[in-house]
């Protein structure tokens, strides 16, 4: 008979086709994978299941009608969701700053002086240093000619331009000064106030204005004023240019937003405020014991997030919201670029934020409905078989070089599952919130990307910078030469090395920063989750009692996560590596393969 194991995941639906003849061992014939259609565990999954089955049978030159039995995984009631909440906010009033980072500043160095409108240059006093600001109605040639014609006793030490013309002005003036351009709301710059301006050399970032004491030096601030400008200095870290304006009535403050409290209905009930940060939240979760449900303070950011997750799952499972329970969360500290309240040129500041992944369970088993509908449409017997983590363990055992006892880490899109299968066949399992989707959200948030798709690609592929039409520098520093010329559109840009060719990162972000954010996001999610998941299933909850770990699931295909985990597990002398299911599939198809194997075992 021909049978199929079907694993419905958050991101992909995988199929394994096997053949059972009499008492002979099961013979694996083919496999296939497609994107999951709809939310995991809902009838919308049927379209993806049929597509995967059709593809797997087509590889054999056979029709889907020849399948005698389809076995589905029992994982539908568990689903992951993610959210990001900003915890701090920088507010600046009365035109206190232009913490700006345009792509084309000009000149270099820093200076301090009195702000003076270009239109009022004729009012300039002798021997007073001025920072002149000009609106976009004045052209670069006119501005340069006017500056060159000024007598020596008029000191212009810096310029602020509305137009994107800093380099054009700087190339035409006799005395080189720092120039910042692309300041959209230049009409809000207060004339007559003291200001400091700085432009760093190419490849460097501002030093004086990203240091509160540097600002104090240039603007002659007292200790109280120096403390007040700390949020400004922090927001300018990494910028190539900046202007800070001293205003007597300016208000610069960092607010802590009321993100709300998390309530743990558990063996040891607990309440924890979201603004205490991820470390304290996770300590409360770990100390709570078995968690029955997690809710949030009504009317707050986190309360609304949990309510939204529960309502969404209630809608797809057609249950009342009280029947939907959140049984696990993973909280991760991060920094999110947020538009500064009161800024003049669209400046952002890295604000403290917490990313959260939640694990949701329902009372009903939607898989029964999926099985019934699939059976009706295909006229083939469909059953719901074992628990996902158990099936993954059976599939992982087909990896060459493995033996019992064995631990597995199934790293998917929404959750990280762990299991230990002992020599007597006893299996201990756990489901943890947080996996690939949370990593993508952290990358998108920290880099300020407009869409999740680019964050997904940054997560999956290594980086390079195109330095000429025939070579690029890889993220590890290696120089890579090509035989055919690179598309000129990629010249000087950061690109992703995908199997389909180069993909340009449209936002102008240094390669080093993208790489650091990507690696940090993976470590925060996967290293944290791997350790807490394995600790829950390990004998006596001690990682030293685990000797072998096989990594399976989509995230095990990542080009750096397995290496990160291997290095981390050295501390406990754990042998860790990617699974190679059936010696041919790599880390994918473990659950689908386990579903086929488990049928063969039941038959015996």
| pLDDT recorded at residue 257 | 60
Same domain, 316 and 212: no
Same domain, 234 and 305: no
Same domain, 460 and 443: yes
- What per-residue string of b and e applies to 184-194 under the rule 16 or more CB within 10 Å gives b? eebeebeeebb
Q: What is the CATH number of the domain that holds 286?
A: 3.90.470.30
Separate counts of helices (H) and strands (E) for the chain: 16, 30
Long-range CB contacts (< 8 A, 24+ apart) of 470-475?
A: 475/511, 475/515
Helix/strand/coil (H/E/C) assignment for every residue in 236-271? CCCCCEEEEEECCCCEEEEEECCCCEEEEEECCCEE
pLDDT cut 90: percent of the chain above it: 52
| pLDDT recorded at residue 150 | 92
- Separation CA 41–CA 415 (nearest Å): 14
**What is the average pLDDT across 334-338?**
81
| pLDDT recorded at residue 249 | 57
C-beta neighbour count of 145 within 10 angstroms: 12
* Residue 144 vs residues 104, 356, 539: alpha-carbon distances, Å: 17, 52, 75
Which among 361, 388, 417 is the end of a domain? Answer: 361
| pLDDT recorded at residue 337 | 78
Same domain, 274 and 374: no
pTM, whole model, 2 decimals?
0.78
| Residue 370: both structure tokens together | 């999926």
| Residue 412: both structure tokens together | 């998917």
pLDDT, tens digit, 9 for 90 and up, residues 66-113: 999 999 987 544 455 566 666 666 555 544 556 566 667 888 899 999
Same domain, 147 and 199: yes
Half-sphere exposure of 12 (CA within 13 A, CB side): 18
Tokens 């080093």 map to which residue? 512
Same domain, 243 and 148: yes
Give the closest residue to 197 by CA, choosing from 128, 244, 231, 147: 244
Q: How many domains does the chain have?
A: 4
| pLDDT recorded at residue 604 | 60
Same domain, 337 and 286: yes
Structural domain of 487: 401-579
| Residue 469: both structure tokens together | 């039409």
| Residue 180: both structure tokens together | 């910042």
C-beta neighbour count of 283 within 10 angstroms: 13
| pLDDT recorded at residue 95 | 45
Same domain, 180 and 218: yes
86, 336 Cβ separation under 8 angstroms? yes
**What is the average pLDDT across 474-496?**
93
In the predicted structure, residue 273 carries a pLDDT above the cut 60: yes
Which among 253, 276, 301 is the end of a domain? Answer: 253
| pLDDT recorded at residue 77 | 44
Order of strands across the sheet that contains 406-411: 427-433, 415-421, 406-411, 548-552, 575-578
Same domain, 357 and 372: no
Same domain, 392 and 409: no
pLDDT, tens digit, 9 for 90 and up, residues 516-550: 999 999 999 999 999 999 999 999 999 989 988 99
Which among 233, 253, 273 is the end of a domain? Answer: 253
Lowest mean pLDDT among 363-372, 394-403, 563-572: 363-372
Q: What is the mean pLDDT of the chain?
A: 86
Q: What is the CATH number of the domain that holds 230?
A: 3.50.30.70
Same domain, 111 and 209: yes
| Residue 161: both structure tokens together | 């331009």
In the predicted structure, residue 65 carries a pLDDT above the cut 80: yes
Same domain, 219 and 112: yes
pLDDT, tens digit, 9 for 90 and up, residues 541-581: 999 899 889 999 889 999 999 999 999 998 898 989 999 99
* Residue 175 vs residues 109, 134, 149, 178, 365: alpha-carbon distances, Å: 13, 18, 11, 10, 76
Can you point out the beta strands (E) in 340-445? 348-361, 381-384, 406-411, 415-421, 427-433
Q: For residue 56, what is the enclosing H or E element?
A: helix 45-58
In the predicted structure, residue 129 carries a pLDDT above the cut 80: yes
| pLDDT recorded at residue 382 | 94
* Residue 436 vs residues 60, 82, 154, 525: alpha-carbon distances, Å: 32, 11, 59, 8
| Residue 495: both structure tokens together | 């690109």
Q: What is the CATH number of the domain that holds 59?
A: 3.30.420.40
């Amino acid at each position: 008979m021909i049978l199929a194991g079907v694993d419905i995941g958050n991101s992909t639906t995988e199929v394994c086709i096997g053949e059972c003849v009499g008492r002979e061992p099961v013979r694996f014939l083919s496999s296939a994978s497609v994107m999951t259609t709809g939310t995991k565990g809902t009838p919308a999954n049927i379209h993806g299941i049929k597509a995967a089955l059709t593809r797997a049978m087509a590889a054999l030159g056979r029709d889907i009608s020849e399948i005698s039995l389809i076995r589905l995984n029992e994982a539908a009631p568990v689903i992951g969701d993610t959210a990001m909440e900003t915890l701090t906010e920088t507010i600046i009033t009365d035109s206190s700053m232009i913490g700006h980072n345009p792509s084309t500043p000009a000149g270099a160095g820093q200076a301090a002086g009195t702000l003076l409108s270009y239109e009022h240059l004729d009012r300039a006093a002798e021997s007073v240093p001025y920072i002149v600001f000009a609106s976009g109605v004045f052209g670069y040639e006119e501005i340069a000619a006017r500056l060159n014609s000024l007598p020596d006793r008029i000191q212009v030490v810096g310029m602020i331009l509305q137009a994107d013309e800093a380099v054009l002005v700087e190339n035409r003036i006799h005395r080189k000064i720092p120039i910042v351009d692309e300041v959209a709301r230049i009409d809000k710059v207060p004339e007559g106030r003291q200001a400091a301006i700085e432009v760093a050399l190419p490849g460097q970032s501002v030093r004086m204005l990203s240091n509160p004491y540097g600002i104090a030096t240039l603007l002659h601030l007292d200790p109280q004023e120096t403390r007040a400008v700390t949020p400004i200095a922090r927001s300018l870290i990494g910028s190539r240019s900046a202007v800070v304006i001293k205003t007597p009535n300016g208000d610069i403050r960092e607010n802590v937003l009321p993100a709300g409290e998390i309530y743990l209905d558990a063996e040891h009930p607990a309440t924890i405020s979201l603004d205490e940060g991820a470390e304290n939240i996770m300590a409360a979760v770990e100390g709570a014991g078995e968690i029955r449900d997690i809710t949030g303070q009504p009317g707050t950011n986190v309360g609304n997030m949990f309510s939204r997750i529960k309502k969404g799952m209630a809608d797809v499972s057609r249950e009342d919201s009280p029947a939907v329970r959140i049984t696990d969360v993973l909280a991760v500290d991060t920094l999110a670029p947020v538009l500064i309240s009161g800024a003049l040129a669209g400046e952002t500041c890295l604000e403290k934020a917490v990313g959260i992944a939640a694990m949701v369970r329902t009372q009903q088993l939607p898989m029964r409905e999926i099985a019934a509908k699939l059976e009706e449409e295909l006229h083939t017997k469909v059953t719901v078989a074992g628990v996902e983590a158990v099936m993954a363990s059976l599939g992982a055992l087909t990896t060459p070089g493995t033996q019992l006892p064995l631990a597995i880490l199934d790293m998917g899109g929404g959750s990280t599952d762990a299991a230990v299968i002992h020599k007597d066949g006893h299996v201990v399992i756990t489901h943890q919130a947080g996996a690939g989707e949370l990593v993508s959200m952290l990358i998108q948030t920290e880099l300020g990307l407009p869409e999740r798709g680019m964050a997904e690609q940054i997560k999956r592929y290594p980086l390079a910078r195109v330095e000429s039409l025939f070579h690029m520098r890889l993220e590890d520093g290696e120089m890579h030469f090509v035989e055919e010329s690179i598309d000129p559109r990629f010249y000087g840009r950061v690109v992703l090395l995908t199997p389909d060719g180069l993909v340009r990162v449209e936002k102008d972000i240094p390669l080093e920063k993208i790489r650091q954010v990507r690696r940090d996001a993976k470590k925060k999610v996967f290293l944290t989750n791997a350790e807490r998941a394995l600790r829950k299933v390990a004998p006596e909850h001690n990682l030293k009692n685990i000797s072998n770990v096989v990594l399976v699931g989509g995230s095990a295909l990542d080009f750096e996560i397995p290496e990160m985990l291997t290095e981390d597990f050295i501390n406990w002398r754990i042998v860790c590596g990617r699974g190679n299911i059936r010696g041919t599939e790599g880390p994918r198809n473990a659950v689908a393969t386990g579903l086929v194997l488990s049928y063969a075992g039941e038959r015996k």
